[in-house]
Amino acid sequence: MYLKHFGLSEFPFNLTPDTQFYVDMPSHIEALNVLLLALQAGEGFIKITGDVGRGKTLLCRKLLNELQSPYITAYIPNPHLSPAGLRMAIADEFGISYTRNSGQSKMLQQINQFLLDAAANKRKPVVIIDEAQAMPLETLESLRLLSNLETEKQKLLHIILFAQPELDTLLQKKSIRQLRQRISFSYHLKKLSYSDVRYYIERRLGIAHLTIEHFFTPLAYRAIHFYSNGTPRLINILSNKALLSAYGKGNYKVSLKNVQLAALDTEETANLKHPLECRTSILGLFVFSLFMAGIYI
């Protein structure tokens, strides 16, 4: 592949949520601060939402790495579970012993006892649920019942929901309005600006030990921002394909043309017409001049 050609130590734009390649973008910094502040305040329910590809899972993994003692965590990556399945998954994550034929009332007692013991030892259990918009309504309600476990002075369990905006639609349903009322801290991940996109790409290249200066041309950065609409997952896809395009042509820098070819090869961006592609017409020249100045219409 292109690693040796560009002198990279590893692929900088993999789609796997590798915390080594986590980049402190403004929106992610704010979200992480909200999470840590809410946990320190002892809040029971916290919600982080973001559109597809905004980096929720990577942020989730980053939080898991950040939470050291006294926090103990249970991570549920696939919450499309029945209420009983959710309780079993939480028990498994916390290492709570139970038998498969335990009644649900018995299992709830065991979880409650685990949480009481944790509080007595000044430990703070946290359940982190990724893709929470996939949870059935009855499972969301069972999650609320778990959050009822508390002493007179503190919540015994902290619950963090990472989800697409569809979760907000679910929470509007009357049947789970009590859960909606319990979410005291929430944050919505924003898309990246042009300067964010440039910094994001440069940081990931730096982590992969790139030594070539001005590796992406200014117009290549502009094009990636345009085609990706500031979505990290699309930035990764386009940047990776642009690198492949440059490598295939034997180039050592990524140009606008490389990004355009990457966009044509990506289903979500193939039909978008970049302003620079219109520059042969009078209107195109006008759009091009605005684009060069960093002005969008």
* C-beta neighbour count of 5 within 10 angstroms: 14
Q: Is residue 74 located within the same domain as residue 153?
A: yes
Report the mean per-residue pLDDT for the chain: 89
Q: Is residue 176 located within the same domain as residue 59?
A: yes
Residue 18 lies inside a defined structural domain of this protein: no
Query: Residue-wise over 173-189: b if at least 16 C-beta within 10 A, else e?
Result: eeebeebbeebebbbeb
Mean pLDDT on 13-23: 95
Which domain CATH number covers 146? 3.40.50.300
| Interval 139-153: pLDDT, tens | 998 988 888 877 767
Percentage of the chain surpassing pLDDT 70? 92
Q: Is residue 92 located within the same domain as residue 153?
A: yes
Nearest Cα to Cα of residue 69 among 128, 130, 122: 122
What is the rounded CA–CA span in Å between residue 238 and residue 268? 11
Are 125 and 115 within 8 A, CB to CB? yes
| Interval 86-135: pLDDT, tens | 999 999 999 998 877 777 788 888 999 999 999 999 999 999 999 999 99
What is the rounded CA–CA span in Å between residue 170 and residue 185? 17
pLDDT band of 294, cuts 50, 70, 90: low
Q: Is residue 99 located within the same domain as residue 139?
A: yes
Maximum average pLDDT range among 43-47, 106-110, 223-227: 223-227
State the pLDDT at residue 187.
97
Instruction: Enter the pTM of the model.
Output: 0.87
Residue 280 lies inside a defined structural domain of this protein: yes
User: Is 80 exceeded by the pLDDT of residue 160?
Assistant: yes
Q: Which of 104-108, 159-163, 277-281 has the lowest mean pLDDT?
A: 277-281
Nearest Cα to Cα of residue 192 among 204, 180, 209, 210: 204
Q: Is residue 108 located within the same domain as residue 239?
A: no
Residue 21 lies inside a defined structural domain of this protein: no
What is the rounded CA–CA span in Å between residue 26 and residue 288? 29
- Dihedral sign, Cα of residue 203, residue 204, residue 210, residue 212: negative
Q: Is residue 167 located within the same domain as residue 285?
A: no
Q: Which of 84-98, 222-236, 249-263, 276-290 has the lowest mean pLDDT?
A: 276-290
Q: Is residue 233 located within the same domain as residue 269?
A: yes
Residue 19 lies inside a defined structural domain of this protein: no
Q: Is residue 216 located within the same domain as residue 282?
A: yes
Residue finishing a domain among 130, 154, 188: 188
Residue 297 lies inside a defined structural domain of this protein: no
Domain span at residue 196?
A: 3-13+192-292
* SS3 assignment, position 8: coil
Tokens for 83, please give them. Answer: 């209420």
pLDDT band of 293, cuts 50, 70, 90: low
Q: Which of 160-174, 242-256, 271-285 has the lowest mean pLDDT?
A: 271-285
User: Is 80 exceeded by the pLDDT of residue 289?
Assistant: no
What is the rounded CA–CA span in Å between residue 177 and residue 264? 44
Mean pLDDT on 194-218: 94
Q: Is residue 119 located within the same domain as residue 198?
A: no
Q: Is residue 144 located within the same domain as residue 179?
A: yes
- Dihedral sign, Cα of residue 34, residue 40, residue 41, residue 45: positive
Q: What is the 3-state secondary structure (H, E, C) of 119-148?
A: HHCCCEEEEEECCHHHCCHHHHHHHHHHHC
Residue finishing a domain among 163, 188, 213: 188
Tell me 35's DSSP state: H
User: Is 70 exceeded by the pLDDT of residue 178?
Assistant: yes
State the pLDDT at residue 295.
52
State the pLDDT at residue 280.
42
Query: CA dist 274 to 9, 110, 172, 214, Å?
Result: 32, 58, 38, 22
Q: Is residue 244 located within the same domain as residue 277?
A: yes
State the pLDDT at residue 108.
87
Please give the tally of structural domains in the chain: 2
pLDDT band of 282, cuts 50, 70, 90: very low
State the pLDDT at residue 12.
96
User: Is 70 exceeded by the pLDDT of residue 297?
Assistant: no
Q: Is residue 179 located within the same domain as residue 212?
A: no
Residue finishing a domain among 153, 188, 223: 188
